Amino acid sequence: MQLIETYRAYWALTPEQRRLLKEKRIAGERTPAQWIALLGGLAAYDRQAEAVRTWATVAMIVAPMLVFFGALFGGIALGYEAQAWLVALGLALTTAAPLVALFLATRSTDLANQLREVALPLVSLIGEDLGPHATLQLGLDLRGGTAKDKLSKTLPARKERGRSIRERIFLDPWMTAAVVLRDGARLRWRITDQVHELRISRRNARGKTKSKTKFRVDSRVLAALDLPAAGYRLRPQPGGPDAPGAGAGKMDQAAGAVPHPAKGHPATVCNIERGAQNHHRSLCPRRARPD
């Protein structure tokens, strides 16, 4: 039943959505409603395909084994011991082939989970602060954080407590966006994931080497907000413009007051960046004139 629903979900996609499933890169400018319609269909199919891929992974291991041993013991019981092995092997391969094909087909259209977990909810949230005809510039790279061209660094192998660890670091700038809000402020942000791939090997007492791979992801969000000079002013700080921290003055929405844009920024009063660990840094000149 899950397979049928996935099949229907795929053919319910538009030609553009099916093309994006293959390319896994999205860029353009649309209204939030148009983005939600486009990304929502992709997310619905991706959710169905992930469930089918999980089922196929288990089935292509268990089903051929059951068929192989069932055919083998059945052939032996019927007195065809010489042919039982070949027949059992042939039936097992025949059973595994369509399951492997199904797994590879759904894997080739697999999109990074950031689409469902981050991008789609964020576009819906941003859309609430936009006008009915406002557009959102959006770029998504949904190929996953370990694509070959995203490899940034390969560290030398190291030894820790009898284990050999090889580490590779990937940089995945998977989302960029820009939008003009209702009050004229321009919001821009970029999300970059730093993926650490750890391949850990250990040799046991019997001389066998066991290996496993672990991943750790650190996400960095960089956002910038350009405020319109006509609607905001720099709140005066205690001690005057020369006081410590005066350059990072807080912003107030102007109520009919004539603003004083910062020199060199005629269209904005301040540009505020937000980085990792909720770090805030004001880009206003230290002697920006308060109202």
Two tokens at 197? 């791939």
CA dist 174 and 225 (Å) reads: 20
Are both 272 and 196 inside the same structural domain?
no
Q: Which of 108, 130, 165 is a domain's end point?
A: 108
Q: pLDDT value at position 92?
A: 86
Contact 52, 125 (CB under 8 A): no
Pick from 278, 259, 275: which is nearest to 267 by CA?
259
In a domain, 120, yes or no: no
Query: Does one domain contain both 104 and 198?
Result: no
Residues 86 and 6 in one domain: yes
Q: Do residues 20 and 73 both lie within one domain? A: yes
Per-residue pLDDT reduced to its tens digit, 104-162: 888 889 999 999 999 999 999 988 878 778 899 999 999 999 999 999 999 998 888 77
Q: Which domain holds residue 274?
A: 232-282
Query: Which stretches does DSSP call E strand in the chain?
Result: 25-30, 136-141, 151-154, 158-160, 163-180, 186-203, 209-228, 232-234, 251-253, 268-274, 280-282
Q: Which portions of the chain are predicted below pLDDT 50? A: 255-291
Task: Kindly report, residue by residue over 200-220, the tens digit of the pLDDT.
Answer: 988 877 778 888 999 999 999
Residue 92 and residue 19 in one domain? yes
For the chain, the domain total comes to 3
Q: 241 and 193 in one domain?
A: no
- Please state, in angstroms and rounded to a whole number, the distance separating the CA atoms of residues 96 and 158: 39
Are 223 and 239 in a shared domain?
no
Same-domain status, 274 and 209: no
Q: What is the pLDDT of residue 244?
A: 56
Confidence (pTM): 0.73
Q: In this structure, is residue 221 part of a structural domain?
A: yes
Question: Is the domain of 223 the same as that of 268?
Answer: no
Query: Do both 12 and 87 map to the same domain?
Result: yes
